[in-house]
Amino acid sequence: MIIKDKVVVVTGGASGIGKSLSERFAAEGAAGVVVADIDSEGIESTRDRIETNTEVLAVRCNVASEDAIKNLVAESIERFGHIDLFCSNAGIFTAGGEGVSNDSWKNIWDINVMSHIFAARAVLPSMLERGEGYLLNTSSAAGLLSQVGSAPYSVTKHAAIGFAEWLSITYGNRGINVSVLCPQAVRTAMTAGGDGGVAGLDGMLEPDELTNTVIEALADERFLVLPHPEVLTYMRRKTDDYDRWLGGMRRLYDRFAATYKKRE
């Protein structure tokens, strides 16, 4: 997909990756950009930064609510007539292991997994009717590998990739393209005040750097969007010798355990 003249929806658009994606899509000549987030002031700020380049709609949206995402899609279609690309980008991090509270598990599950499901339910009918559409779901390299220090983040990001795979398999021959964004450390509010921990070993990207990879991957219609190309090598090592990979991950755990304990 070439972004020029397309209508794009971005959740988590008030800051970080979502903000940078919104700005880049406008710079690429999108016909319309819908910026969605639970942060009202943040989406207004993003809108003000990009509305000179394209038509922008700012919608307050709690992605953990299916009704809110339905409303987001409805408002977007009412304004622009259709949606070409839906970027289900919003996500959170929760440190800890199996002992994390049930409420915290539910919260991260709703935001990191169910939001993608809610988005697909809401936007796919109109895309399938048109015979074309694109879903870009933000996961993480943690969804392909793992996340030292956070069972909830690792589990939900794996689930997000699993759902994106299913969408591609099920709807790929009906005009629906699917990509999944899987960065390591990116300088956002999620990584503020630190070096990204394990995910920062290959360097921390600025959000604007990440958007270059996104634009290239969308143009090529690639499923995996890997701003840190090293992740592909790590995936291959994991599948080539799972036990050896787990041993290496245990060593990483030992190295960073103290850091993540402080976050719990």
- The pLDDT tens digits for 143-183 are 999 999 899 999 999 999 999 999 999 999 999 999 999 99
- Indicate which residues carry an active-site annotation: 153
Which pLDDT value is given to residue 261?
Answer: 61
Closest CA to 36 of 56, 19, 60: 60
User: By the 8 A CB rule, do 263 and 149 touch?
Assistant: yes
Q: How far apart are CA 35 and CA 56, in angstroms?
A: 7
Tens digits of residue pLDDT in 72-122: 999 999 999 999 999 999 999 999 999 999 999 999 999 999 999 999 999
| Distance, first Cα to last Cα, the chain | 41
pLDDT at 194 over 70: no
Half-sphere exposure of 106 (CA within 13 A, CB side): 4
Q: Quote the crossing angle between the two packed helices 115-130 and 151-171, to the nearest 10°.
A: 10
b/e burial code for range 49-88 (CB count within 10 A of at least 16 → b): ebeeebebbbbbbbbbbbebbbbbbebbbeebebbbbbbb
Q: Is 222 left (phi over 0), alpha (psi -120 to 50) or beta?
A: beta
What CATH code would you report for 7-263?
A: 3.40.50.720
